[in-house]
Amino acid sequence: MKKKLDLTNILEDARPDNYHELALECSWDEYFKVISSRRSIRVFDQTPVPASVIRNAIDAGLIAPTSSNLQQTEFYWARSPERKAALVKACLSQPAAATSQELVVIVARTNTWMRNSAAIITQLRESGAPKSAISYYEKLVPLAYRNGPLGLLGLFKRVYFFVKGLAGPVPREPKSFADIRVWTHKSAALASENFMLAIRAQGFDTCPMEGFDSKRVKKILGLGCGAEICMVVSVGKRGQGGVYGPRLRLPREWFAFEI
């Protein structure tokens, strides 16, 4: 049992010898154009957004890195006018939502990782992946992300790793449902950034919103337990007065440390 739980061994062995993927040559200048011209837009004009722009951006979101590749993020694009209107209201009718052409809700799931892990195991088996890769999903993933009824397994893990951690480094999270929430929102946010930059790269703009009624948004999407609203992103073309002002950033030395 002990050997099987050694993360390092499993990760090391998961590497096939024959696969290589060339690093594409990219353009920093072109990338910088995208990130620097992405501003949160509060007022959009009336230009419609082609469906392909949204679909490309969702595809971009879906290839962002996800924790243990468990792919917990979902995108809900409100195409029916009634649903979009309801979402605008649930976003407290803020101008960024009310003037938007499209609204996409990015959802962080806490309960789809078992389904996804099982599907990944099947795919890995079919592709003849090394045993250790399959073992990662069969053994380590359930151990890492399951916290048991009433979080009791999580509590046990917390105590176990606290004691084991006295002797050497141990993984410590997720050890509670609160940690699982952090964990899944993290992956959803990585996907959200890919999505928003993809919209900008195609000539349109976004505003990520957290000021919403999460209960109502979930109801509109038909979602219940195990789903959390990460953010609602509005999409369109920036209108006059849509950017509140020059980008305001506090001194770099408050946030960037070379240690």
Footprint on residues 100-129 left by its own copies (CB under 8 A):
112, 116, 119-120, 123-124, 127, 129
From the CA atom positions of the chain, what is the Rg in Å?
Answer: 21
Number of residues that bind its own copies (CB under 8 A): 128
65-104: which residues touch its own copies (CB under 8 A)?
65, 67, 69, 71, 73-80, 83, 89-96
49 in contact with its own copies (CB under 8 A): no
- Which of 1, 82 has the CB closer to its own copies? 82
What distance in Å separates the CA atoms of residue 111 and residue 148, rounded to the nearest whole number?
13
Number of other CB atoms surrounding residue 192 within 10 Å: 23
What distance in Å separates the CA atoms of residue 70 and residue 84, rounded to the nearest whole number?
29
What distance in Å separates the CA atoms of residue 220 and residue 204, rounded to the nearest whole number?
25
Q: What binding mask, one character per residue, do residues 207-226 give for its own copies by CB under 8 A, x or -? A: -x-xxxxxxx----xx----
178-207: which residues touch its own copies (CB under 8 A)?
178, 181-183, 185-190, 192-194, 196-198, 200-203, 205
CB of 153 to its own copies, least distance (A): 18
Residues 195, 196, 198, 199, CA torsion sign: positive
CB of 88 to its own copies, least distance (A): 10
Residue whose C-alpha is closest to residue 72's, from 19, 41, 113, 35: 113
Q: Using CB under 8 A, pick the residue from 1, 2, 3, 8 that binds its own copies.
A: 8
135-154: which residues touch its own copies (CB under 8 A)?
none
155 in contact with its own copies (CB under 8 A): no
- Quick check: 56 and 37 in contact, CB under 8 A? no
- Strand 205-209 vs strand 227-236: parallel, antiparallel, or unpaired? antiparallel
